[in-house]
């Protein structure tokens, strides 16, 4: 079966201008991500991992090259279309959780649904439902600073899943967590890939995580240094992304059984 490519970065370069100087952060990057795949971007601090993820998510335009999503180039698309691509297709999880401190946990999870046109009550109901599935019901009306780091990151993952995206993009999601919470978060993301069949892009510099993905893209000084395949994506995983219907219960079963 031919592998279906979800996202392709073609000859992507990125240059920032800083105090009149140009800094080239990404140089001629070619990366393809297949449906159902778990790809890890690994490399030293400052090598350009976050910048590459931001380009892939449409948060930053590349200076050169293009990004092709399901065979269609983002080049020349309006900002509105690019934002819609990101909002509906990609769930993003950051190291700093990025929850809004003034909103409740439930409101935070409901937030990405606001752009989808659903009314307030339905958005809040869906958020409550998702939070119930991840075992965070008792925190619905609390605010982020009242939760532990691990709990906040689980809220952030739940928020990223609210729009039922194809792709989960994680930038050092365990960077601010103690090792137990970090293991829990990595296990949730692993199950998102293996059980819920989400395509996962993960940035890390933690070598302990190198066994998780199907493929590791090693980055060095803004370039792809090498790619290593741990295992091929299965045909079953390839069938995914079209008919996604999230079952978070699946992700939490292990936790409930403990
Ligand atoms: N907006 C910006 N303006 C100028 N330079 C930037 C900008 N964003 C990133 N850089 C520079 O690009 C380089 C790569 O940054 P990036 O954040 O992509 O690295 P990283 O691999 O994610 O590092 P870390 O592991 O520390 O998060 C760094 O030298 C950084 O200073
Ligand atoms: Mg980074």
> Within a domain: residue 185?
yes
In tens, the pLDDT along 44-70 reads: 999 999 999 999 988 899 999 999 988
pLDDT at residue 2 in the model: 59
> Within a domain: residue 73?
no
Would you say residue 135 has pLDDT above 90? no
Contact 190, 212 (CB under 8 A): yes
Element (H, E) at 219: strand 215-220
> Within a domain: residue 83?
yes
pLDDT at residue 133 in the model: 79
List residues, by chain if needed, whose CB lies under 5 Å from ion ligand 2: 50
Counting the structural domains of the chain, the total is 1
**Lowest mean pLDDT: which of 9-13, 142-146, 170-174, 244-248?**
244-248
> Within a domain: residue 108?
yes
> Within a domain: residue 4?
no
> Within a domain: residue 146?
yes
- Site to probe by mutation for ligand 1, drawn from 17, 20, 22, 25 as the one with most ligand atoms within 8 Å of Cβ, is 25
State percent of the chain over pLDDT 90.
60
Question: Taking residues 107-133, what's their average pLDDT?
Answer: 89
Length of the chain counted residue by residue:
258
Would you say residue 23 has pLDDT above 90? yes
Q: Is 179 in the pocket of ligand 1 (CB under 6 A)?
A: no
Q: Of all protein residues, whose CA lies closest to atom 9 belonging to ligand 1?
A: 51
Structure tokens that stand for 64 in this block: 């050169």
> Within a domain: residue 26?
no
In tens, the pLDDT along 202-220 reads: 999 899 999 999 999 999 9
pLDDT at residue 237 in the model: 74
Q: Is 151 in the pocket of ligand 1 (CB under 6 A)?
A: no
Mode of pairing for the β-strands spanning 72-73 and 90-94: unpaired
Q: Is 159 in the pocket of ligand 1 (CB under 6 A)?
A: no
> Within a domain: residue 124?
yes
Provide the domain limits for residue 99: 36-61+78-257
Q: List the CATH number of the domain containing 160.
A: 3.40.50.300
């Amino acid at each position: 079966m031919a592998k279906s490519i979800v996202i392709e970065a073609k000859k992507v370069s990125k240059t920032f201008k800083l105090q009149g100087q140009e800094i080239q952060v990404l140089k001629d990057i070619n990366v393809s991500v297949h449906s159902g795949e778990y790809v890890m971007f690994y490399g030293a601090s400052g090598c350009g991992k976050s910048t590459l993820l931001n380009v892939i998510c449409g948060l930053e335009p590349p200076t050169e090259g293009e990004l092709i999503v399901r065979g269609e180039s983002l080049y020349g698309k309006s900002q509105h279309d690019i934002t819609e691509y990101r909002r509906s297709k990609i769930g993003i999880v950051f190291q700093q959780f990025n929850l809004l401190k003034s909103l409740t946990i439930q409101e935070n999870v409901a937030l990405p649904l606001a752009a989808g046109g659903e009314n307030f009550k339905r958005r809040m109901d869906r958020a409550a439902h998702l939070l119930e599935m991840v075992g965070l019901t008792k925190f619905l009306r609390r605010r982020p600073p009242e939760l532990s780091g691990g709990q906040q990151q689980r809220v952030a993952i739940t928020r990223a899943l609210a729009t039922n995206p194809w792709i989960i993009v994680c930038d050092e999601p365990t960077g601010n967590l103690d090792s137990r919470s970090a293991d829990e978060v990595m296990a949730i993301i692993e199950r998102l890939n293996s059980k819920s069949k989400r395509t996962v892009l993960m940035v890390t510099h933690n070598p302990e995580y190198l066994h998780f993905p199907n493929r590791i893209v090693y980055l060095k000084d803004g370039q792809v240094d090498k790619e290593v395949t741990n295992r091929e994506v299965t045909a079953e995983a390839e069938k995914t992304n079209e008919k996604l219907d999230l079952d978070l219960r699946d992700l939490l079963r292990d936790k409930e059984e403990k």
